[in-house]
């Protein structure tokens, strides 16, 4: 699960090898790590990378899977009313806007359902059109939210509010351009734990990407920071103001403190104007 600290960022292929995608290690960058308590360095351990370069997902379902869904606001976990959820089994289908299944709008508790088709263990969910209703407040609109690389039977959907996105400039002093999109996520190891110490590279079919708009989180303040030069214990990263199109995300890390960069993860993601794509990056496999 993505930790709630990721919300502040929203405000604001081959197997592993030595290719660094044009990145260089950062001075002081540690080897990739896990840290169960971000405030306690004694809890730092090595990630489980034994599945790097292997196909590690279970078999895809062979029958349709009914799925009861709950859509919650990413910041406050409030139910999102009137949201529609779509499921896609490929990036090509996202680009063609031809979902494999579409839900009815969510009820007052953010509940709805759909049937996921067989054949894919990981899918793409799109959630759009909902509002967050709080007593004494006007309804809060939400952004199109894409969740990439999710397991087919994951019932928990996220929706990011426009109000959350509008707070971005105060955090990292980057103008939030509604004609651009956002990618956020983290790399997971073989035990599905978030890996720290990583760097990201983003390239878009839609145009140039400014690497100065890639941010990592400072564990001391739980916010994205220009001073944080690699992913900290939560593994979280965010790329802001990305041109709409397909974005190739590559994740790199050091296998030991003084080593060069190793290519650990890669995904091709849909990015849409005034939308966010959230990705759980799996270690590179041969599949």
Residue 1 scores a pLDDT above 50:
no
- Which range (63-72, 81-90, 168-177, 223-232) has the least confidence? 168-177
Residue 283 scores a pLDDT above 50:
yes
State the pLDDT at residue 221.
67
Mean of all residue pLDDT scores within the chain: 87
Residue of 120 and 213 predicted with greater confidence? 120
Residue 15 scores a pLDDT above 50:
no
Alpha-carbon gap, residue 282 to 287, rounded angstroms: 12
State the pLDDT at residue 226.
82
Alpha-carbon gap, residue 74 to 76, rounded angstroms: 6
Residue 129 backbone phi and psi in degrees, to 5 = 85, 0
Residue of 220 and 105 predicted with greater confidence? 105
Q: Tokens for 22, please give them.
A: 């044009």
pLDDT digits (tens, 9 = 90+) for 90-139: 999 999 999 999 999 999 999 999 999 999 999 999 999 999 988 888 89
Q: Is 53 helix (H, G, I), strand (E, B) or coil?
A: coil
pLDDT digits (tens, 9 = 90+) for 79-89: 999 999 999 99
Burial 34-69 (b: 16+ CB within 10 A, else e): bbeebeeeeebeebebebbeeeeeeeeeeeeeebeb
Rounded percentage of the chain residues whose pLDDT exceeds 70: 87
Per-residue pLDDT, averaged over 60-81, amounts to 94
State the pLDDT at residue 202.
96
State the pLDDT at residue 21.
61
Residue 13 scores a pLDDT above 50:
no
Burial 87-124 (b: 16+ CB within 10 A, else e): bbbeeebbeeeebbbebeebeeebebebebbeebeebb
Domains and CATH numbers, the chain: 6-57+173-281 (2.60.40.1120), 65-164 (2.60.40)
Residue 199 scores a pLDDT above 50:
yes
Helical segments of the chain, H only: 6-11, 91-96, 162-166, 168-172
């Amino acid at each position: 699960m993505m930790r709630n600290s990721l919300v502040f960022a929203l405000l604001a292929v081959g197997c592993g090898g030595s290719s660094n995608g044009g990145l260089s290690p950062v001075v002081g960058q540690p080897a990739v790590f896990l840290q169960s308590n971000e405030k306690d360095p004694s809890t730092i351990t090595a990630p489980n990378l034994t599945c790097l370069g292997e196909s590690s997902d279970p078999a895809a379902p062979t029958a349709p899977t009914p799925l009861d869904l709950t859509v919650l606001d990413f910041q406050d976990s409030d139910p999102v009313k009137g949201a529609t959820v779509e499921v896609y089994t490929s990036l090509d289908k996202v680009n063609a806007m031809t979902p494999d299944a579409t839900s009815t709008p969510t009820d007052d508790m953010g509940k709805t359902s759909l049937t996921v088709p067989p054949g894919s263990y990981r899918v793409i969910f799109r959630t759009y059109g909902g509002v967050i209703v709080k007593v004494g407040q006007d309804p809060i609109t939400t952004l199109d939210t894409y969740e990439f690389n999710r397991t087919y039977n994951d019932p928990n959907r996220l929706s990011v509010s426009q109000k959350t996105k509008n707070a971005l400039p105060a955090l990292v002093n980057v103008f939030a351009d509604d004609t651009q999109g956002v990618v956020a996520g983290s790399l997971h190891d073989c035990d599905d734990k978030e890996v720290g110490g990583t760097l990201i590279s983003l390239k878009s079919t839609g145009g140039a990407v400014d690497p100065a708009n890639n941010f990592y989180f400072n564990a001391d303040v739980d916010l994205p920071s220009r001073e944080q030069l690699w992913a900290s214990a939560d593994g979280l990263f965010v790329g802001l103001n990305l041109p709409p199109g397909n974005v190739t995300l590559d994740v790199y890390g050091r296998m030991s403190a003084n080593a060069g960069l190793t290519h650990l993860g890669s995904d091709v993601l849909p990015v849409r104007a005034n939308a966010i794509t959230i990705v759980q990056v799996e270690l590179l496999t041969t599949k």
